[in-house]
Amino acid sequence: MEQILTKNYKIELSSINEWSLGEILQKDYPNSKIVIITDENSYNFCLESLLNAFPILEEAEVLQLPAGEVYKNLPLVEQILQVISEHNLSRNDLMINLGGGVITDMGGFMASIYKRGIDFINIPTTLLSMVDASIGGKTGVDLGSLKNQIGVFAEPKALFIDPKFLETLEVVQLYSGYAEMIKHGLIADANHYEELKKVRPEEVPGRLDLIKRSIEIKKEVVEQDFKEGGLRKTLNFGHTVGHAIEGMYLTKSPIVHGLGVAWGMMIEAEIAVELGILPKEDSNSIKEHILSVYPPLKLDSEELEEVMHLIQFDKKNKEDKILCALIDSIGNCQWDVEVGAELVRECVSNNS
């Protein structure tokens, strides 16, 4: 079993049968009510394995949410909290979030606002949530097209990962998680980036070493700067543009988060070149790799305008300035780099 210790909790990365979840439930929550938050896919594909491995959870209340980013919003949070309240969950009770990033984001948020906070445990079931979303304490929901606009920082009591859950995942979701892994390499570990370049996203579930390294990078960054005063902003590389593209598609035909991030990294690398921060050959090689894995971005003029509009609303901005995290080499990233809207528009346009 692989274990990664964070300051406040541990991450276990192993077969479900080796998890210490049973001991934790017996020791810390012997008389607690437990609610398991799932979406329709984690309910269908993952819940049974969890209940088989931990019969103690047979008693738990299982709530099944509709799947997808469009449901990551306050109205659904209110509905679910209503149900949780009807089940009389108290301060000493526990929530288990079993699902992708939408479930770990929304579940963590619900746990932290219900009765001013109850404990929660994350069991991520997508690649993206394993290497990224479930780690680092950011929880929340979207507000219309604005991603993650409402939320709180809150950490789980423990986090359990079994890559076996990835077997039922749609391939496009592996591509989504792979983009965040690439980002981890680009911002913090050139060697990780080089190793990732050697594998296709489909091969990642068999590469515990790569999954583990990505988790470690996220954890190391977050531990140095939990509330995102500085260094943590490097995790936003690719996200200023990426979130806007994702937000633009949200009400049309939603794209996976990682695809937005992949395009965002390609465009933001070009912005970094234009600002004289990043050598052009690095940006070219990033673009080449991204386009060897992901389809090209194609925006019409109306979509470009909408993306630009959403970029200006990005919560990472300050006083009307677009602030980006930009890499200055492969494996190192700066943050709070001021970028003019015209340059952003030019680079988005060049790449679409």
Ligand X SMILES: NC(=O)c1ccc[n+]([C@@H]2O[C@H](COP(=O)([O-])OP(=O)(O)OC[C@H]3O[C@@H](n4cnc5c(N)ncnc54)[C@H](O)[C@@H]3O)[C@@H](O)[C@H]2O)c1
According to DSSP, residue 66 is labeled: P
CA distances to 238, 251, 272, 331, 344 from 278, in Å: 14, 34, 5, 11, 15
- The distance in angstroms from the start CA to the end CA of the chain is 44
Question: Measured from the CB atom, is 160 or 165 closer to ligand X?
Answer: 165
Q: Is residue 169 a contact point for ligand X (CB under 6 A)?
A: yes
DSSP 206: G
* Binding of residue 105 to ligand X (CB under 6 A): yes
* Catalytic position from the list 116, 198, 252, 298: 116
Q: Is 352 in the site for ligand X (CB under 6 A)?
A: no
The alpha carbon of 237 is separated from its chain's Cα centroid by a whole number of angstroms, namely: 13
- Catalytic-residue membership of 184: no
Q: Which residues of 282-313 are buried (b: 16+ CB within 10 A; e: fewer)?
A: bbeebbebbeeebeebebeeebeebbbebbee
228: annotated active-site residue = yes
136 part of the interface to ligand X, by CB under 6 A: yes
- Could you say whether residue 38 binds ligand X (CB under 6 A)? no
Q: Which residue has the tokens 């019969």?
A: 55
Specify whether 243 is catalytic: yes
Strands 10-13 and 322-329: unpaired
The contact pattern for ligand X, residues 314-343, with x = CB under 6 A and - = no contact, is: ------------------------------
The only residue of 6, 129, 236, 334 in contact with ligand X, by rule CB under 6 A: 129
- CA-to-CA distance for 304 and 163, rounded, in angstroms? 37
Q: Cβ 254 to ligand X, closest distance in Å? A: 9
Look up residue 71 and give its DSSP letter. G
231 binds ligand X per the rule CB under 6 A: no
CB 297 to ligand X: min, Å: 19
Q: Is 67 in the site for ligand X (CB under 6 A)?
A: yes
Query: Following DSSP, what letter does each residue of 233-246 receive, concatenated?
Result: GGGGTTHHHHHHHH
Segment interacting with ligand X (CB under 6 A) among 47-55, 75-83, 164-172, 284-292: 164-172
Residue 260 in the binding site for ligand X (CB under 6 A) = no
Q: Which residues contribute to the site for ligand X (CB under 6 A)?
A: 39, 41-42, 45-46, 67-69, 72, 99-103, 105, 125-126, 128-129, 132-133, 136, 138, 147-148, 165, 168-169, 173, 176, 256-257
Catalytic residues: 116, 138, 180, 218, 228, 232, 236, 239, 243, 257
